[in-house]
Amino acid sequence: MKRTLFFFTLFIFSFAAYTQQMTEDGKCSPREPITSGMIKVIDDIGDFTIVDSDGFTHNLYDELDAGNTVLIDLFFTT
């Protein structure tokens, strides 16, 4: 019972260690600012156009010029 209580307490405190705060515009952000050492930026990505699942066409450079954040999620299945 003590072991279960210990792991439950450890689990609860682990959430407190990774809390986020709200900014003035209502978005969540980490406590520490993101520095350039935390993310890897690659400038070698060329422009491309894709069609999403709703049939809308998106161009990488147009989205970036509009100020949107672009997340490229690559995955592989066998």
Q: Would you state the pLDDT for residue 66?
A: 92
What pTM does this model have? 0.40
| Beta bridge partner(s), residue 57 | 51
Return the pLDDT at 46. 80
pLDDT at 24: 76
pLDDT at 9: 80
In tens, the pLDDT along 21-73 reads 677 777 766 666 666 565 566 666 788 898 988 999 999 889 889 988 888 88
Q: Under a CB-based contact definition with an 8 Å cutoff, are residues 21 and 28 in contact?
A: yes
Reading the block at residue 18, the tokens are 């990774």
pLDDT band at residue 17 using 50, 70 and 90 as cut-offs:
low
More confident position, 18 or 75: 75
